[in-house]
Structure 1
Amino acid sequence: MSMLKLTVSALTIAAASATAAAARDQIRIVGSSTVFPYTQAVAEEFSNQTGAPSPIVESTGTGGGMQIFCAGIGEQHPDITGASRAMKASEFELCQQNGVTDISEAMIGYDGLSLAVSNANDFAWDLTLEEIFLALAAEVPVDGEWVANPYRQWSEINENLPATEILVMGPPPTSGTRDAFVELAMHAGCKTLDYVEQGGFDSAWINENCSRMRTDGPFVEAGENDNLIVQRLQADPNAMGIFGYSFLYENLDTLKGVNIGGVEPDLDTIADFSYPIARPLYFYVKNAHRGVIPNLQEFVEEYMSDEALAAGGYLSERGLVALSDEDRAALQDAVLSGASFQPE
């Protein structure tokens, strides 16, 4: 790139950022519904400690947040987006195309994709990944054929499961939780099927045939507000929900986790990945807005503090599984210094 182009690009960023500073004094954050409660907790702590205006935090879903975050720089665009998966190369390219060329990535900790039911449901739920796939996939193998999912009751999948209707509420396609669930639960469950193992199907076949959730009733897309799933489970003892561990953790008085392969979702099993659908959580910072949007750098410092992120910190009290001390120190150094992110 020529020096002229670099200069023009820098002036464009500076002008847009100056407009941002003049137009608003509140930090704006979008993104994952799973990361939302952690970011909201940091926003409240930051405002209480500093007296600064509380950041505006919106739960838009990971995919929706990336689209909004990558749309440009300036006051009309958010400063941070939360994500329940890593930024995709296509999203990074969208950012680059729109002048969002300097981004820092923060992997803040770990989360388990919890399946949960009401405490009023007296069955001791313990599902395999294969059973989860057979309950929720659009197509499954029956008598050696790959067909539309015929299963309506749990007992049709395994006679030891209850003879109740399959009803599972979960995230929409725009959600990073949905992306992670498809990869960690649906694909993993599909791979264990005799039909797939004996057929020798490769990852491309699995991606094409094992990713679609059923749309005939047993799986219900419940939107980006995970609290609505919690409320539905509390009202219907036979319903099951999919959401981040923090929503289970905060509602253990009314909900219980579904074991997977004999492993209960909790802080320890998520941290050591013995719980099979654990995943990292992220947020991304628009570095062109640092030092321009009032209090943005200070907010990032609060998010990166030991008080927030360490084991026993106020985010772990809300269900976030903390990084090791070594990994947290490396994260803090990179994010506080504004290290630029490049997708793998």
Structure 2
Amino acid sequence: MRTSLFSNSPKSFLTIAVTALALTACGQGEQSNDDQASQGASDSQAQAGAEKYDRSQIRIVGSSTVYPFSSYVAEELGATTDLRTPVVESTGSGGGFKLFCEGASEDTPDFTNASRPMKASELKMCQDNGVDDITQIMVGYDGIVIGQKAGEPDLDLSREQLTKAVAAKVPQDGQLVDNPYNKWSDIDPSLPDHEILIYGPPTSSGTRDAFEELVMEHGAQNIDGYDGNKPAVRQDGKFVPSGENDNLIVQKLAQNGNAVGIFGYSFLEENRGKIQAAKVDGVEPKRELISSGEYPVSRSLFFYAKNAHVGRIDGMDDYVKLFLSDQMASDRGALKSLGLISLPPEELEAMREKWKNREQVTAESLKAEHG
């Protein structure tokens, strides 16, 4: 069992809270208006008389990329408090939003992880089912890696070359035709002379959404003949959807030197020695280049909280505070060793404030998020 990251036990925190309330009642409290407002936000559900649910464990679904970080925090919460360890499922970002947005009843998830922002259509799905009080928290950055077996010749792929390898249709002689490229060398003679085989994420994955946006849409804009059309992923066996467990992609790459895979940076960090990363547009997926945005396939990571469950499911506030603590999410935190690329200190503090205030996701905020 890991030792607690905090110096005070849960009982100590309770004692402090009771003492503080007593001082306030006697007119001796010196708590600022901001602190009082934040405490009010934290306890809003309990003050509203929310009834406790019978379920005693937090339930978390969503992104396979965020899964390792979320699972670590969940295990730490269970190991260092009296709370039961939350249940974390890897369902993909899209799959997570579907489950999260089913309603606000006890049998629906409390959090969903995502490797992309929520879509406006997903917010509407939530709202249509009575889930209209949601807080979005960004936890860090990630890069989408194009990986291959360690020891293979280095690859440097442009986003245009990747688009031609993955797209269902490509421009030829002024028309969009079924993708004729079977070998990488068919795309460019400088590329390896072996069959195209790409293990990638399924349609439910946020990694797939981000790859299509950051690689394929960008590539299509720079390839004559697409004329504004967004290419779909080919389905002729050259691109193989490999489920929500990115470790399976890593295992397949380790066994096949001719294959490449698409997965999150954290899985590269965990499997160095087995796999290596290709450059994309001449840039390596390094931590500092991902956080700066210089690596062209960089993205933000999120989780979403169902605020209607706060006060009804024990530990939701504890889980978020632990996740956003310096001990977990900062550049010196435990999640860095798992591959999380941390937010700058001021952005991390902004996320803590966002949670204290239970800042609500709106159509306008999502529009700004998607640019």
Fold similarity call, TM over 0.5: yes
Q: 1:280 to 1:161 in 2, by over 3 A?
A: same
Residues 1:296 and 2:326 aligned together: no
Q: Deviations over 1:310-341 (max 9, x none)?
A: 11211122111111111111111111332212
Residue of structure 2 equivalent to 1:266:
286
Q: Could you tell me how far 1:298 is from its partner in structure 2?
A: 0.7
Residue of structure 2 equivalent to 1:67:
98
Q: What CA distance in whole angstroms lies between the structure 1 residues aligned with 2:233 and 2:64?
A: 20
Q: Aligned letter for 2:57?
A: Q
* Correspondence for 1:257 among 270, 277, 284: 277
Residues 1:32 and 2:75 aligned together: no
Q: What CA distance in whole angstroms lies between the structure 2 residues aligned with 1:195 and 1:312?
A: 47
Q: Could you tell me how far 1:51 is from its partner in structure 2?
A: 4.0
* Correspondence for 1:224 among 232, 241, 244: 244
TM-score under structure 1 length normalisation: 0.89
Residues 1:240 and 2:240 aligned together: no
8 Å CA contact 1:172, 1:178 repeated in 2: yes
Residue of structure 2 equivalent to 1:335:
355
Moved more, 184-193 or 45-54: 45-54
Residues 1:160 and 2:190 aligned together: yes
RMSD: 1.7
| Helix, strand or coil at the partner of 1:333 | helix
Unaligned runs of 5+ in 2: 1-43
Q: What CA distance in whole angstroms lies between the structure 1 residues aligned with 2:165 and 2:128?
A: 41
Q: Could you tell me how far 1:206 is from its partner in structure 2?
A: 2.6
* Correspondence for 1:114 among 137, 140, 145: 145
* Correspondence for 1:134 among 148, 151, 164: 164
Q: Could you tell me how far 1:47 is from its partner in structure 2?
A: 1.5
Q: What CA distance in whole angstroms lies between the structure 2 residues aligned with 1:67 and 1:194?
A: 37
| Helix, strand or coil at the partner of 1:106 | strand
- Report percent identity of matched pairs: 45
Residue of structure 2 equivalent to 1:150:
180
Q: What CA distance in whole angstroms lies between the structure 1 residues aligned with 2:174 and 2:108?
A: 52
8 Å CA contact 1:59, 1:224 repeated in 2: yes
Unaligned runs of 5+ in 1: 1-9
8 Å CA contact 2:100, 2:110 repeated in 1: yes
| Helix, strand or coil at the partner of 2:225 | helix
Q: Deviations over 1:295-314 (max 9, x none)?
A: 11111110111111111211
Residues 1:318 and 2:338 aligned together: yes
Residues 1:77 and 2:97 aligned together: no
TM-score under structure 2 length normalisation: 0.83
Q: What CA distance in whole angstroms lies between the structure 1 residues aligned with 2:268 and 2:316?
A: 30
User: Larger radius of gyration, structure 1 or 2?
Assistant: 2
Q: What CA distance in whole angstroms lies between the structure 1 residues aligned with 2:55 and 2:255?
A: 41
Q: Could you tell me how far 1:28 is from its partner in structure 2?
A: 0.2
Q: Aligned letter for 1:324?
A: P
The number of aligned residues is: 319
* Correspondence for 1:275 among 292, 295, 305: 295
